[in-house]
Structure 1
Amino acid sequence: MLTQHHLILASASPRRTELLRQIGVPHTVRPADVLEEAPYPMSSEDYVMYLSQKKARAVAQPGEVILAADTVVSLDHRILEKPADRTAALEMLRLLSGRTHEVVTGVTILTDEREETFTVTTKVRFCTIPESWMLSYVATDEPYDKAGGYGIQGIGGLFVEAIDGDYYNVVGLPINPISRRLDMLGIKPMFA
């Protein structure tokens, strides 16, 4: 049986680390140094699966359990990743305002014996965002390291009217399906 100290998170995301801590899963952070792009055209599901596999394989070493993830926002079959600058963040918020979009996360769990990749999709409905809110929001640091240019767990939660699906998926790591799979590998959540 594998022990908890063998889990490697192939991500530098502080949100993913915090979510693993929240469910009591010790891990080591080893960010994947890969170019986050994939061949086009691809569906958002295929895109995040491709990138999560690429990240997991980049950091894999024998005897470890690797957890990698990639999250995007999808609207009208258009993939919205992290905005590069204020203009891109504003464009994304204007596109999402008053509409429902999908947050899609691809997850790869890799061991010496197997690789499993799956996706989780959550629908998020935004209110019609006042322009003054958008301008104030993009003046913060929050939009720039988040897919779609917003963080539901932060100030960006103001824009959300409703979600249909896994809240933690929108944060960046669907902890329920991940924890069930890790449990089968002997990596159990700690309820202490």
Structure 2
Amino acid sequence: MEIVLASSSPRRQQLLELIGLDFKIIVSDVEEDNTKAMPPHELAVAHARDKALDAAKRASHSDVIIGADTIVVLDGQVFGKPADYAEAIRMLTALAGRDHIVISGVAVVKGDQVFTGFSATTVRIKPLSIAQIERYVGTGEPMDKAGAYAIQGRGTLLVESISGCYNNVVGLPLVTLSELLRQAGVELL
């Protein structure tokens, strides 16, 4: 049995390394569709499940596959990764000076079993000028991040406060993952 991460995200890889987990990577080919009509936490879980099941097709039946998806929600609107510079500017302009929710769905697949969960964290972005937003977007950091910011990078300068799991905002809530792995027979502690 091997642990498989169904993601190429360097942040998720670093978090798994942080807890000492040995794993291999099988990148999922699933395209995220944030326009599906379902509650945001269900959407994040559905994406995570789809990614894990997709990677499981290329893994051994005895492997344990981890899938994850992180979205940002403001006033019921889901923000995924910005498509371009202009969309990153629009996202950060909307988030500036306000609270939003970061939701990460997590799925663990072992054989024919699928275990799912999610974590939600409230994040407040400080008030920002358009010049500050443009400078941050100009670094390129926001382009592959849900909500167009990286709390573990320069984007930490935008975050006024959080309430909930920090690792969830990075992209993988480790407590939630630990519980799902335990259900699949893998004890981390």
User: Would you call these one fold, judging by a TM-score over 0.5?
Assistant: yes
- Segments of structure 2 that go 5 or more residues without pairing to the other structure are none
The residue number in structure 2 matching 1:30 is 26
Instruction: Give 1:38 shift.
Output: 5.8
The residue number in structure 1 matching 2:4 is 8
Q: Aligned partners of 1:106, 1:15: CA distance in 2, in Å?
A: 15
Deviation per CA, 1:136-183: give whole Å up to 9, x if none.
Answer: 011112000100000001111111111010000000000122124324
Counting only pairs closer than 5 Å after superposition, residues 99-138 of structure 1 correspond to structure 2 as: 99-138=98-137
Task: Work out whether residues 10 and 31 of structure 1, in 8 Å CA contact, stay in contact via their aligned partners in 2.
Answer: yes
CA RMSD across the alignment: 1.4
Task: Work out whether residues 117 and 176 of structure 2, in 8 Å CA contact, stay in contact via their aligned partners in 1.
Answer: no
What is the identity percentage for the equivalent residue pairs of Structure 1 and Structure 2?
A: 39
TM-score (norm 1): 0.92
- Greater displacement, 43-52 / 7-16: 43-52
The residue number in structure 1 matching 2:45 is 49
Aligned length: 185
SS at match of 2:17: helix
Counting only pairs closer than 5 Å after superposition, residues 36-185 of structure 1 correspond to structure 2 as: 36-37=32-33, 40-60=36-56, 61=59, 62-183=61-182, 185=185
- Greater displacement, 144-153 / 131-140: 131-140
TM-score (norm 2): 0.93
Give the counterpart letter for 1:28 in structure 2: K
Q: Aligned partners of 2:181, 2:82: CA distance in 1, in Å?
A: 32
Give the counterpart letter for 2:133 in structure 1: M
